[in-house]
Structure 1
Amino acid sequence: MELLFQQLLNGLTIGSVYSLVALGLTLVFGILHVPNFAHGALYMVGAYIALTAMTALGVSYWIAILIAVLFVAFVSVLMERIVFSRLDPKDPLPIMIAAIGILFFLESLAQYTWGSQYQRMITPYGDSIQIFGLTVTIQRILVIVAAVILMVLLHLFLTKTMTGAAIIAMSQNRNGAFLVGIHSSRVAMMTFAIAGGLAAAAAALSAPINLVFPSMGNLVIMKAFVIIIIGGMGSIPGAIIGGYILGMAESLGATYLSTDYKDLIAFFLLVLILTLKPTGLFAKGVK
């Protein structure tokens, strides 16, 4: 029983990271209606920027996370302004090709800048504590709590602010949003900034638990795509719940089945859920 609760806690940690990445991907899809394959590269850049801020600049862990979030948000906005805003949203193929090109560019740039070797981020919260008889690191608790706080803040932003209402309006009816005077360029920039910031936060929070390397975002973004398909394309509740479902399934599967099949569980869940509910767990649309 203790092993079960330990793995459930690990599943919450993994699911928190997946949900944050999938949230950003879902928001961008809600605006462009095209999956952003470069989102995993933003996740990777966030980890490297946080690591560099701590090692080269000597700043604290929290300041490093803030720097990573702001930097990646800026890169994400540049990506939207320089590339995606110049492409026809009605033709998804050029946008998908451009996103893949950005992914390869950022990975190559990271490898040139930081090297291809694996690196580890040292956290001030690496100590272990006892909770109801379970031994957990403070960093894992921090990931879960920080993810929930970010999700709540995102919900409040989307439901309580004019910009958030504009994002929801754009995702639900693009033409209708134009007719009521919503500035599509500003909404797109804000959406990309939020998505990049969430990816960077997820990477900086999980980097002390995992290793940092140039291709670290590839597997994460593949699972994020699985999550948003499972949850319903463009659905924020679907991205959150789908992330935690996958995190739990991977953690329990690696323990009770085999670690060799851990990364296959995502695709098994994808086939299973889409067989039972082809539209995903939630209706389409940012909510």
Structure 2
Amino acid sequence: MELLLQQLFNGLTLGSVYILVAIGLTLVFGILHVPNFAHGALYLIGGYLTLMAMKGLGVHYFVAIIISMISVALIAILMERLVFNPLRNAPAIHDKIAAIGMVLFFDALVSLIWGNDYQRMITPYGDSVTIFGIATSYQRILVIVVAVVVVILLQLFLKKTMIGASIIAMAQNREGAFLVGINANAVAMMTFAISGALAAIAASISSPINLVFPAMGHIVILKAFVVVIIGGMGSVPGAIIGGLILGITESLGATYISNDYKDMIAFLLLIIIMTVRPKGLFAKGVY
């Protein structure tokens, strides 16, 4: 029983990271109908910026996360303005090719600047703790707490602010949003900024557990796309439920089946859910 509870907690930790990354993807797709394959590059940059802010500037862990969030949000805005916006009327394949190009560019840039070695991000929350027989660390608890807080704040932002209402309006009816005077460019930039900030948070809280390295965004973004598809393209609740399902399934599968098949489990789960519900668990837009 203790082993089951331990793996459920580990799955909750893993799922929390998937949720943060997947929500960013979901928002961009819901508003712009663009599957941002370059989102993993934002996750990658977020992890390195947090690490370098701590090492180079000597700032506290949370200050480093804020620096990373702001920086990656600005990079995401530039990505939208310089790449995706000019391609909005181009054939659909063009933005996907451009996104893959950005992934290759940022991977090469990170390797050039920081090298290819694995690096450890040391935080004040690395100590171990036992809660109800579950052995964990304060960092893993922090991952779950941060994910919960961020999801709550994001929901409040989307439902209680004018900008949030504009994002939802764009997701529900793009043409109607234009007719009532919503600034599509401003909404697009804000959506990419939020997406980038979420990627930076996810990388910053998971890196002390998983290390920082140039390929860290690749597997995470693949899993995030699985989560988005399982939950329903453009659905934030779907991204949350899908992230939890995938995280817990992977954790249990690695323990009771084999850790060698952990990554395969994600795609097997995708096939099963797509067979039962081809449009995902939720398919009604952002909300």
Fold match, TM over 0.5? yes
Q: 1:79: which partner in 2?
A: 79
User: What does 1:85-234 align with in structure 2 at a 5 Å threshold?
Assistant: 85-89=85-89, 91-234=91-234
Q: 1:253: which partner in 2?
A: 253
> Are the equivalent residues in 2 in contact too, given 1:32–1:89 (CA < 8 A)?
no
Q: 1:45: which partner in 2?
A: 45
Counterpart amino acid of 2:34?
A: V
| Matches of 1:237 and 1:88, distance apart in 2 | 27
Shift of 1:141: 0.3
Shift of 1:128: 1.0
Shift of 1:91: 2.8
| Matches of 2:246 and 2:89, distance apart in 1 | 30
| Matches of 1:63 and 1:36, distance apart in 2 | 28
| Matches of 1:131 and 1:253, distance apart in 2 | 23
SS at match of 2:210: coil
Shift of 1:89: 4.7
| Matches of 1:25 and 1:259, distance apart in 2 | 27
| Matches of 1:88 and 1:190, distance apart in 2 | 17
Shift of 1:284: 3.5
Runs of 4+ in 1 over 3 A off after TM superposition: none
Instruction: Identify unmatched segments of 5+ residues in structure 1.
Output: none
Q: 2:286: which partner in 1?
A: 286
| Matches of 1:164 and 1:90, distance apart in 2 | 28
Q: 2:16: which partner in 1?
A: 16
| Matches of 1:125 and 1:184, distance apart in 2 | 41
| Matches of 1:200 and 1:168, distance apart in 2 | 23
SS at match of 2:57: coil
Shift of 1:88: 2.3
Question: Structure 2-normalised TM-score?
Answer: 0.99
Percent identical across equivalent pairs?
66
Deviation by residue 1:128-163 (Cα, 9 ceiling, x = unmatched): 112112221000000000000000000000001110
| Matches of 2:182 and 2:281, distance apart in 1 | 30
Counterpart amino acid of 1:261?
A: Y
Q: 2:266: which partner in 1?
A: 266
| Matches of 1:261 and 1:33, distance apart in 2 | 32
Q: In terms of mean alpha carbon deviation, does 275-284 or 81-90 score higher?
A: 81-90
Instruction: Identify unmatched segments of 5+ residues in structure 2.
Output: none
Shift of 1:111: 0.5
Cα distance, 1:32–1:91 mapped onto 2, change above 3 Å: farther
| Matches of 1:195 and 1:12, distance apart in 2 | 21
Cα distance, 1:16–1:273 mapped onto 2, change above 3 Å: same
> Are the equivalent residues in 2 in contact too, given 1:232–1:282 (CA < 8 A)?
yes
> Are the equivalent residues in 2 in contact too, given 1:53–1:67 (CA < 8 A)?
yes
SS at match of 2:129: strand
| Matches of 1:284 and 1:189, distance apart in 2 | 23
Shift of 1:184: 0.2
- Cα RMSD (Å): 0.8
Cα distance, 1:219–1:33 mapped onto 2, change above 3 Å: same
Shift of 1:203: 0.2
| Matches of 1:147 and 1:92, distance apart in 2 | 33
SS at match of 1:136: strand
| Matches of 1:284 and 1:99, distance apart in 2 | 26
Counterpart amino acid of 1:58?
A: G
Cα distance, 1:89–1:242 mapped onto 2, change above 3 Å: farther
SS at match of 1:209: helix
| Matches of 1:153 and 1:218, distance apart in 2 | 27
Shift of 1:43: 0.2
Q: 1:238: which partner in 2?
A: 238
Shift of 1:92: 1.6
User: Is 1:57 aligned to residue 50 of structure 2?
Assistant: no
> Are the equivalent residues in 2 in contact too, given 1:250–1:263 (CA < 8 A)?
yes
Number of residue-to-residue matches in the alignment:
287
| Matches of 1:90 and 1:173, distance apart in 2 | 21
Q: 2:2: which partner in 1?
A: 2
| Matches of 1:124 and 1:161, distance apart in 2 | 34
Shift of 1:90: 6.5
